[in-house]
A and B are shown apart, each in its own frame.
Chain A
Amino acid sequence: AQRVTQPEKLLSVFKGAPVELKCNYSYSGSPELFWYVQYSRQRLQLLLRHISRESIKGFTADLNKGETSFHLKKPFAQEEDSAMYYCAPLDLNAGGTSYGKLTFGQGTILTVHP
């Protein structure tokens, strides 16, 4: 079955430490991959998408097709990075529609301590 896995429910680091939020997917095709972030009681926001290869707020994510992973990384975590992070593959060939199928992972709560 096609799915996305974020193995860590909670991730706690100190300010200035590197952080990596893991995401593994299992899709037969080549999904577009996104990372979404939700800060405390705010709307879900798009953090980055792999096709644009942009670095937003210091975060990067590289698609590793061999490992089917799309881990989110930041070299120096900041306290304001504390939030819930969702990995979300968009499989344009699934869902039976032209919309594709967007699946959100279980999410990882990142807490950055001062």
Chain B
Amino acid sequence: AAGVIQSPRHLIKEKRETATLKCYPIPRHDTVYWYQQGPGQDPQFLISFYEKMQSDKGSIPDRFSAQQFSDYHSELNMSSLELGDSALYFCASSLSNGAAGNEKLFFGSGTQLSVL
């Protein structure tokens, strides 16, 4: 079965460069979540999208932006990269089931970003 796909798997950038991370949710999933996991830390929620609209926003820096496209894949754009941005970025997708809630999350393997 198809899972959540993230690309690239690894990314190395220098300070002040830009990076774009991509997340391809499970087919027909309409919700995508982005998380940032620093070294030895638990994941921090960045942002989420439902039906191509931003549904929730967490601790996402102003240098970052994200969007969900018509095919439901999402991209996280990161500009003016800093050393502290080095982390594992992973996304999760789910299929909204209306008021019932409790949609199950499916997690991607993550993109490991290293800023030098």
CB distance from A48 to the nearest CB of B (A): 11
User: Interface extent on B, as a size class?
Assistant: 20 to 34
Asked if A84 meets B42 with Cβ closer than 8 Å, knowing A43-B56, A99-B88, the reply is no
B96 to chain A: which residues have CB within 8 Å?
41
- What total of chain A residues lie within 8 Å of the partner, measured CB to CB? 27
Partner of B42, one of A38, A41, A46, A106: A46
Number of CB contacts from chain A to chain B under 8 A: 65
Contact digits for B31-45, partner A, Cβ 8 Å, 1 yes 0 no: 101010111101101
Partner of B40, one of A42, A92, A109: A92
Contact digits for A39-50, partner B, Cβ 8 Å, 1 yes 0 no: 111111110010
B24 at the interface (CB under 8 A from A): no
CB distance from B23 to the nearest CB of A (A): 15
A13 at the interface (CB under 8 A from B): no
B42 touches A90 (CB 8 A): yes
B112 touches A97 (CB 8 A): yes
B42 touches A43 (CB 8 A): no
Interface centre among A34, A82, A102 (most CB of B within 10 A): A102
Bound Cα distance from A111 to B56, whole angstroms: 24
B58 touches A43 (CB 8 A): yes
Bound Cα distance from A97 to B43, whole angstroms: 15
A residues apposed to B, CB below 8 Å: 34, 38-46, 49, 82-84, 86, 90, 92, 97-100, 102, 104, 106-107, 109, 111
Task: Jot down 28 A-B pairs with beta carbons below 8 A, ordered by A.
Answer: A38-B102, A38-B105, A40-B99, A41-B50, A41-B55, A43-B45, A43-B48, A43-B58, A44-B35, A44-B92, A46-B42, A82-B102, A84-B102, A84-B104, A90-B40, A92-B40, A97-B88, A98-B39, A99-B37, A99-B39, A99-B40, A99-B87, A99-B112, A102-B88, A104-B105, A107-B104, A109-B104, A111-B102
